[in-house]
Amino acid sequence: MNASDEKDVELLRSHAQQLGEHFDSVQIFANRCENGSDNGTQAVSVGTGNMFARFGQVKLWVEEQEEDAREEMRDHRAGEDEE
């Protein structure tokens, strides 16, 4: 981990700890596009509180997003059928 990555992690860790004073668990994901990096995207994630609660919340969020995307695709296809 380079110095820039360490600063990113520390920034997010600080905010996660502050939020953790008000919530049982906190997980923060952040990313940015950086040309010249291995894959073009730098990602950082930190969390505080119960790991199982964080994992469950992230899993639920992913499932909800997937269902929303499926519904959007069904609506889009239904709209094409009507034309």
Residue 35 pLDDT level (bands cut at 50, 70, 90) = confident
Q: How confident is the model at residue 37 (pLDDT cuts 50, 70, 90)?
A: low
Identify the domain containing residue 61 by its residue range. 50-83
Tell me how crowded residue 16 is: count the other CB atoms within 10 A of its CB: 19
What per-residue confidence (pLDDT) applies to 1? 65
pLDDT of residue 41: 85
Same domain, 69 and 55: yes
Write out the two tokens for 75.
Answer: 């609506």
Which pTM does this prediction carry? 0.75
Tell the burial category of 47 from Cβ atoms under 10 Å away from its Cβ (0-12, 13-18, 19+): buried
One domain, residues 37 and 1: yes
Q: Which two tokens stand for residue 23?
A: 């919530």
The total number of structural domains that make up the chain: 2
Residues 9 and 45 in one domain: yes
When pLDDT is averaged across residues 30-44 and rounded to a whole number, the result is: 82
